[in-house]
Structure 1
């Protein structure tokens, strides 16, 4: 539990990450992400949600302690938001960068937009609580919660 003065108390159980553009580039997971996932899995349940555009998510995350959700519907934006609702939005943090991540970030109790090498869609930026320059900085927030407090307190 993270008490953020004059903001809210975060009781995050689930960290949900978009795949391409967020934790992966061109279907390849950033190596630092795999290391961070192993550490974060000791305290959080980790999920990766993706359309799996490159068909690489299962192989790339085979040794990682994550649950993979491959999107199957025609409305990925809604499907991502519904996934957060099903987990319990009040216990979820979500990370993403694309237009289809905006509703997911807005639904989660904590939405983090990633402004990585692919950039970040305007609607996702607006829907977020925090913006990070890359995914490793974003995931590290959960290992150093005082960073969350410093950023979000009012």
Structure 2
């Protein structure tokens, strides 16, 4: 788990990293091998579970993560926002980081202890940006931030 003590807040204990797929991890349904390796390394180094939530628009998600320990969960194409929020609640919002960029990620970013919005190649929805705690340029920057809790602490301190 990732443990962070932020001044004037209770200790954060992160056990789950929940990511949107398209626009967040993937562009046009494809994830770079570098990103998969970084997520796998983060999971092993910090003993956190990485979950990918997607309606799988391009039908590629299972193939992309077939050789990894990353957990893939399909959400409804019509109710993805609700499905993602419910998933975060089931894991325990206090122990989750959520990463996304689209309108259907807003609620999971709001609910998670830390919500990270990324701009990425596909940009981000402005309402998602406002709902987040942190904004980064791309997924690899988000992973790097989580891999370095002191950087995360510096970003979130009052």
Deviation of 1:8 (Å)? 4.1
2:59 to 50, 55, 59: 55
Q: Is 2:156 the counterpart of 1:152?
A: yes
Q: CA RMSD in A?
A: 1.1
**Matches of 2:8 and 2:28 in 1, distance apart?**
40
Question: Gapped runs of 5+ residues in structure 1?
Answer: none
Number of positions where the alignment pairs a residue of Structure 1 with one of Structure 2: 154
1:106-126 deviations in Å (ceiling 9; x for gaps) = 010000001100001011101
Moved more, 101-110 or 26-35: 26-35
Which deviates further from its counterpart, 33-42 or 127-136? 33-42
Quick one: distance in 2 between partners of 1:38 and 1:28?
Answer: 16
Preserved CA contact (<8 Å) 1:73 1:79: no
TM, length-normalised to structure 1: 0.96
Which stretch of the first structure deviates more once superposed, 6-15 or 90-99? 6-15
- Within the candidate set 2, 17, 34, 2:19 is matched to 17
CA offset at residue 64 of structure 1?
Answer: 1.6
Partners in 1 of 2:54 and 2:5 — Cα distance?
31
Q: For the residues of structure 1 that align with 2:151 and 2:130, how far apart are their CA atoms?
A: 20
Does the residue aligned with 1:28 lie in a helix, a strand or coil? Answer: coil
Question: Deviation of residue 78 (structure 1)?
Answer: 1.0
Whether contact under 8 Å (1:15, 1:94) holds in the other structure is yes
Q: Is contact 2:40-2:70 (8 Å) kept?
A: no
2: CA distance, partners of 1:23 / 1:30: 8
Spell out the pairing of 1:1-154 with structure 2 (5 A cutoff).
1-42=3-44, 43-72=47-76, 74-154=78-158
**TM-score between the two structures when normalised by the length of structure 2:** 0.94
**Which runs of no fewer than 5 residues in structure 2 stay unpaired?**
none
Structure 2: how far apart are the matches of 1:106 and 1:41?
23
